[in-house]
Structure 1
């Protein structure tokens, strides 16, 4: 897999957003200062520490354990290839326990006590937003590997998962092209689903798609979906747009089948279900359903063949790969390339050197946009097959430039970044 740096011309609309942006639609001014706390990263020895912060327990463990595993795989491969600037990477692992407060606590520990050079991890937007002030106030780096709702760009976070225009908007475009004229929204009750659904409703209004209902459940697999899915059945939408996270998806699809709904007549478009979750839900309950991501195990590239083989050799032939774990894996290589481009582990130097750094990732070539710390990414719509893998049925013509504030869409005006 090749690592290079390219000159990348950011779209004018993206440039206008500016480098210094913070949480959900807010923008910090040029007077923002970093390094409020002096870095304690030790670069004097033969090793360099990084943090791996994922939910290894709780409702999100179904998704995040494999992200931890893919980070470890990337680190081992980099160490075998000589490390980073001649130093071997030492991983300090922590459990966010599916709790945003715990993610913040562990992020503080990794940055202030363990003195790591970067942290890789997080999944839910609630966990990311809980960690964001830690990384900004300490001028530290977080590499966040999961698709999210957009409307954010922090100078201390590199977003290696999709932003809205690289996943949710293409998913809606696909449904529209398939003749969908009505949808029902079901999601977990936290930042990502609620913000994503605000964006979906704005798109729907502009594209003559009727939203027939909108329901949320706690971020827990204990949720009872019988009432919600009976409402869906009565509303008779053309499709369901699913922003549930974690093991709540298991209960959702079990009840979906129980009430007699089928993919052929009421398809579900999911944006947080990948190959790992399919296995937990059960193929019989989810075959034929739609997903929107940037990567599937079935992507046909030499880089992906090597990645899948290495992952299965390490963790078991029955273990699938998925989009968030591929994005996490990719982010470790991008960090190394940015450090080596900078010739330093210093956060300001790494950030200043990152724009234009590219990597021939399993999903295809990705490039860091230096204006907003997101990646160019290819969008893919998939259908879950009978083996539990996901087949691509549509993909974008090439990598899509990140537009986290949706500045290129008139219908998104007023959502938080326009």
Structure 2
């Protein structure tokens, strides 16, 4: 492949380190989409060529490698990052260099940049429906546990406010560094079991997520009685945790592997053919896959890599995603997404309990945060379709 005949894009997903369990799935979703685009002739007859670096889950590396992709590799469209702290490293680089950055991960909201296309859920698309579900299904007494960085602290701030609007109470709030292991989380797990909250809201990520769920189970916690509820815990992590320790626990997300639709079956079939298994297909993986297709469609329309022209073409862009129809909101460059809540069954698979019937407009600043105004509660899943 000759460089001048391809469209070069930059990729920043970690294949090693504490967040690699998720970022590898995001990388796979990105590469699958590139394969599909190139198989149909590329964009205007030219293939997309990924230039990929491994930040190793080290936050400072993301900004340094973004700079390298733009300055040395002369690439103006970047795809990557899982943690908000890594996104914050890339953000000033792409703004200073006027590059486009596609971020395929849910996050805490309260941010906007014209140089970023946000592909993951904002708080109104996951935190608000999850708070509503917990209060109405389990009760109002919630215990918070999180990793110690930007996303958990900000996400917990939002969740605390939303819960209080619904009459909920935060019993306690704990944060742990990425060096903690299962043994280090055993004490808080025992405290939670002794305190008997109605539910636990977890913003622990990466390997720590796996360790926390296992520690909770070892302490006698039962997800069918007092679930750990999360916005991030996904199929890859549940597989690593194991069904015995994960049964009953809850996640709110736009996408689950168990969605029964033609678009999702096609996506999973292609993913399995390329990677041998769908074990690590996650909501973040699906978001990365969708963002690459949306980018390629905009590039097809524009015909060059000019950041400003691509940005204009991306505003209002739509895609029939595995999760359902999605759209880039021209008001804030976030994405209209589906919203679902699912619990883990005895086999370790997510079973969808509730969903909305349409994609939700992203509200990154929670202009309309009222818990009782959200239309999620009365819209139960039709079991025959999901």
TM-score (norm 2): 0.92
Distance 1:133 1:300, change over 3 A: same
Quote how far apart the aligned CAs of 1:44 are.
Answer: 9.0
| Residue ranges of structure 1 left out of the alignment (5+ in a row) | 1-42, 412-418
Deviations 1:251-294 (A, max 9, x none): 11111011111112211101111111111111211012111111
Q: Which runs of 4+ in 1 moved over 6 A?
A: none
User: For residues 146-225 of structure 1, what are the structure 2 equivalents within 5 Å?
Assistant: 146-220=105-179, 222=181, 224-225=184-185
Deviations 1:92-127 (A, max 9, x none): 111111111011111111111112231111000000
Given the alignment, which residue of 328, 331, 335 partners 1:375? Answer: 335
Given the alignment, which residue of 29, 32, 38 partners 1:79? Answer: 38
1: CA distance, partners of 2:302 / 2:112: 21
Quote how far apart the aligned CAs of 1:177 are.
Answer: 2.1
1:331 aligns with 2:304: no
8 Å contact from structure 1 (residues 293, 379) kept in 2: yes
TM-score (norm 1): 0.85
Given the alignment, which residue of 79, 90, 96 partners 2:55? Answer: 96
- Residue of structure 2 equivalent to 1:414: none
2: CA distance, partners of 1:317 / 1:267: 28
Given the alignment, which residue of 102, 105, 111 partners 2:64? Answer: 105
Report the secondary structure of 1:167's partner residue: helix
User: For residues 11-410 of structure 1, what are the structure 2 equivalents within 5 Å?
Assistant: 45-220=4-179, 222=181, 224-317=184-277, 319-409=279-369
Report the secondary structure of 2:206's partner residue: coil
8 Å contact from structure 1 (residues 140, 347) kept in 2: yes
| Residue ranges of structure 2 left out of the alignment (5+ in a row) | 372-386
Deviations 1:40-82 (A, max 9, x none): xxx9932011111111111111111121111111101101111
2: CA distance, partners of 1:352 / 1:120: 18
Count of residue correspondences: 369
2: CA distance, partners of 1:318 / 1:338: 28
More helix by share: 2
Deviations 1:144-203 (A, max 9, x none): 111110111111110111111111111111112214211000000000000011111111
